[in-house]
């Protein structure tokens, strides 16, 4: 059985692992590999290698750093299908979806290629006599990224292109459920000529995470994952003196007003609800149907839900693949059972789905609930599966109250033909990312990505300008080149003159 290992000091780590975890092919249910789980020795080696590399990497010119990013971008373009297939094989999302994830990650690499421009500081001439001031932003050192299973390429690429471009060295701790994509990206970095140790992969579980969160040489931590772990990472990293941004879970609502384009709204609900089997932090899990549109909207969504083609992730005919593990599938089924028991109306029931020839796979058909109440567990909790809940309300105000009362605030969408209402919505809604007639409003790489409330712990969003800010610290230099004739001690408080 193949063991997927770490990438330390620019090469694969070949010492035998003391602990491993199974890696599955979710389409067949078979164990296809084992992933090494880092212990103290590997954590120390990874951080030490990254620390050594930082001393040189921070001195590399901006032009050379940008060139390394351009070369990585070209490698990514060349190998994108290999990367997408590696993701599909371990995650279970269909290959076209995995290609989309690679493309969105690549956009962050392209953003980071502009680092010479992004790191320009400010300059004020003659703030006082013969005195000038300029500001610079400098890298932090070794920074760590701890990432979730659902985007094994894109989420690390939200972080490392910007971190590395800013002059840091980066230790990536991917999810142990789909660890191969990170190693492929490490190989691409090596091919791009990145010096050894600037990009490191540390495979592992809680032990690796805790090792990074408490390691004195790790200066900053970016985390993306579920809310309870995000809170833990935020608190632990901060208690250990590190800069930290921790993005958590979501319960994204899509509000459909009576004047909305019904067909477009139904398409959007099904695409955003069941794409990647609902295992997206920006998936729509709640449709809020306002007023008279409810019946027709539920019918239109139900018809589309019934025709979603579920199948193996690497089969081009599949629109939706399996869930990531059997444990996760059983958890999702538990929620659907609870929804029925709590009195919601299960309009489309995907629980019995079987995929011929793939009976051992972790498949679960798309489910649509109508008449869901906010007190039900299917409404309250992040299910992270192909389960779409429709909540019916009478007015716009009731819909926005639901959003305000929800503890999560990642993405939110409004479907309407009324520009005035849309404008009011985007102004008053409590969420980090807002879509108007767009169900998954993922910001472009040159904006920053992140939620509010329980969907983000920390002050900065990822990538874009906030990413550059997160991975650098500011320094302000005040300099005077005085006329020798005016020299002499002056014990007064420095003021401008």
DSSP 474-497: EEEEEEE---GGG-S---SPP---
CB of 184 to ligand NAD, least distance (A): 17
Q: Which of 66, 164, 201, 224 binds ligand NAD (CB under 6 A)?
A: 224
Q: Which of 13, 24, 72, 151 binds ligand NAD (CB under 6 A)?
A: 151
> Which one of 17-25, 143-151, 385-393, 399-407 is the stretch in contact with ligand NAD (CB under 6 A)?
143-151
| Residue 276, Ramachandran bin (φ over 0: left; ψ between -120 and 50: alpha; else beta) | left
Out of 92, 141, 148, 350, point to the residue binding ligand NAD (CB under 6 A). Answer: 148
Q: Does 235 bind ligand NAD (CB under 6 A)?
A: no
Q: Judged by CB, which is closer to ligand NAD: 54, or 223?
A: 223
150 binds ligand NAD (CB under 6 A): yes
The span of 247-255, 268-276, 339-347, 364-372 binding ligand NAD (CB under 6 A) equals: 247-255
Measure the CA–CA gap between 272 and 49, rounded to whole angstroms: 41
Reduced to 3 states, what is the DSSP secondary structure of residue 116? Answer: helix
Q: How far is the CB of 397 from ligand NAD (least distance, A)?
A: 27
Verify binding: residue 335, ligand NAD, rule CB under 6 A. Answer: no
Interaction of residue 46 with ligand NAD, rule CB under 6 A: no
- Min dist CB 432 to ligand NAD, Å, is 9
In the set 113, 166, 281, 367, the catalytic residue is: 281
DSSP per residue, 287-342: EEEEGGGHHHHHHHHHHHHHT--B--TT-TT-SB---S-HHHHHHHHHHHHHHHHT
Sites for ligand NAD among residues 405-444 (CB under 6 A): 410
From 190-198, 202-210, 309-317, 361-369, span contacting ligand NAD (CB under 6 A): 202-210
The alpha-carbon radius of gyration of the chain (Å, integer) is 25
Instruction: Decide if 175 contacts 152 (C-beta within 8 A).
Output: yes
Q: Return the number of the residue (106 or 455) whose C-beta is nearest ligand NAD.
A: 455
Residue 468: both structure tokens together: 């550059």
Which tokens in the block code for residue 419?
């520009």
Nearer to ligand NAD, 155 or 387 (CB): 155
Among the listed residues 109, 146, 244, 412, the single contact to ligand NAD using CB under 6 A: 146
Helix axes 80-91, 62-78, angle to 10 degrees: 70
Chain positions 450 to 469 lying near ligand NAD, rule: CB under 6 A, are: 451, 455
Please state the closest distance from residue 15 (CB atom) to ligand NAD, in A: 21
- DSSP letters of 342-360? TT-EEEE--TT---TT-TT
- Site for ligand NAD (CB under 6 A): how many residues? 27
Residue linked to tokens 């005195």:
131
The DSSP result for 119-168, as a single string, is: T---EEEEEETTEEEEEEEEE-SEEEEE--SS-TTHHHHHHHHHHHHTT-
In angstroms, give the least distance from the CB of 266 to ligand NAD.
Answer: 24
CB of 94 to ligand NAD, least distance (A): 18
Compute CA distances 406 → 304, 313, 389, 454, whole Å. Answer: 28, 33, 15, 9
**Which residues are bridge partners to 125 per DSSP?**
none
Binding flag, residue 400, ligand NAD (CB under 6 A): no
Position 384 contacts ligand NAD (CB under 6 A): yes
Distance set, CA 72 to CA 40, 165, 166, 415, 487 (Å): 30, 12, 15, 39, 53
The nearest distance, CB 482 to ligand NAD, in angstroms, is 51
Question: Are the CB atoms for 198 and 189 separated by under 8 Å?
Answer: yes
Exactly one of 75, 167, 249, 312 binds ligand NAD (CB under 6 A); that residue is: 249
In the bound state with ligand NAD, the residue whose beta carbon lies nearer, of 205 and 299, is 205
Closer CB to ligand NAD, residue 25 or residue 101? 101
Tell me which of 226, 271, 325, 437 binds ligand NAD, using CB under 6 A.
Answer: 226
Active site residue 281: yes
Nearer to ligand NAD by Cβ, of 149 and 425: the residue is: 149
Q: Which one, of 47, 18, 48, lies nearest residue 3 by Cα?
A: 18
Distance in angstroms (rounded) separating the CA atoms of residues 440 and 435: 7
**Residue count (the chain):** 497
Residues 169-198 that bind ligand NAD (CB under 6 A): 173, 175-176
Instruction: Compare residues 90 and 176 and give the one whose CB is closer to ligand NAD.
Output: 176
The span from the CA of 144 to the CA of 281, in Å, is 21
Residues 6 or more apart whose CB falls under 8 angstroms from that of 483 comprise 130
CB of residue 195 to ligand NAD, shortest distance in Å: 26
Q: Determine, following the binding rule CB under 6 A, whether residue 387 of this chain makes contact with ligand NAD.
A: no
- Min separation Cβ 323 and ligand NAD, Å: 11
The binding site for ligand NAD (CB under 6 A) comprises 146-151, 155, 173, 175-176, 205-206, 209, 224-226, 229, 247-250, 281, 382, 384, 410, 451, 455
Report the catalytic residues: 281
């Amino acid at each position: 059985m193949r063991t997927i290992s770490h990438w330390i000091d620019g090469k694969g780590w070949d010492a035998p692992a003391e602990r491993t975890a199974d890696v599955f092919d979710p389409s067949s249910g078979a164990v296809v590999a084992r992933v090494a789980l880092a212990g103290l020795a590997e954590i120390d080696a990874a951080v030490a290698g990254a620390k050594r590399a930082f001393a040189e990497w921070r001195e590399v010119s901006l032009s050379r750093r940008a060139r390394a990013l351009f070369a990585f971008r070209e490698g990514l373009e060349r190998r994108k299908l290999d990367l997408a297939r590696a993701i599909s094989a371990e995650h279970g999302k269909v290959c076209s979806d995995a290609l989309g994830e690679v493309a969105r990650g690549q956009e962050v690499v392209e953003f980071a290629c502009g680092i010479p421009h992004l790191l320009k500081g400010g300059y004020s001439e003659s703030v006082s006599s013969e005195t000038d001031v300029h500001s610079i932003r400098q890298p932090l050192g070794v920074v760590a990224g701890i990432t979730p299973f659902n985007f094994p390429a894109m989420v690390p690429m939200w972080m490392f292109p910007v971190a590395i471009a800013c002059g840091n060295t980066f230790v990536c701790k991917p999810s142990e459920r789909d660890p191969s994509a990170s190693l492929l990206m490490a190989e691409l970095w090596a091919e791009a000529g990145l010096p050894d140790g600037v990009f490191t992969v540390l495979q592992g579980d809680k032990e690796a995470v805790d090792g990074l969160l408490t390691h004195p040489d790790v200066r900053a931590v970016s985390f993306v994952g579920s809310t309870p772990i995000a809170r833990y990472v935020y608190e632990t990293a901060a208690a250990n003196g590190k800069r930290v941004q921790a993005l958590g879970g979501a319960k994204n609502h899509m509000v459909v007003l009576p004047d909305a384009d019904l067909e477009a709204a139904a398409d959007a609900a099904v695409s955003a609800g069941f794409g990647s089997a609902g295992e997206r932090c920006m998936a729509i899990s709640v449709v809020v149907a306002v007023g008279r549109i409810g019946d027709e909207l539920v019918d239109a969504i139900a018809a589309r839900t019934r025709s979603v083609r579920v199948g193996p992730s690497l089969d081009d005919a599949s629109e939706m693949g399996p869930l990531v593990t059997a444990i996760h599938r059983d958890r999702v089924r538990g929620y659907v059972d609870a929804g029925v028991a709590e009195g919601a109306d299960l309009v489309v029931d995907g629980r019995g789905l079987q995929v011929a020839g793939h009976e051992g796979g972790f498949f679960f058909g798309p489910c649509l609930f109508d008449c869901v109440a906010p007190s039900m567990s299917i409404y309250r909790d992040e299910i992270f599966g192909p389960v779409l809940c429709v909540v019916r309300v009478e007015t716009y105000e009731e819909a926005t109250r639901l959003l305000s009362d929800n503890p999560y605030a990642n993405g939110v969408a409004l479907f309407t033909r009324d520009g005035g209402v849309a404008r009011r919505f985007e102004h008053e809604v409590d969420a980090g990312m807002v879509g108007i007639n767009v169900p998954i409003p993922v910001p472009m790489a040159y904006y920053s990505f992140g939620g509010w409330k329980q969907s983000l712990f920390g002050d900065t969003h990822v990538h874009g300008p906030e990413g550059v800010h997160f991975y650098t610290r500011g320094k302000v230099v005040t300099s005077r080149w005085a006329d020798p004739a005016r020299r002499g001690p002056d014990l007064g408080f420095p003021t401008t003159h």
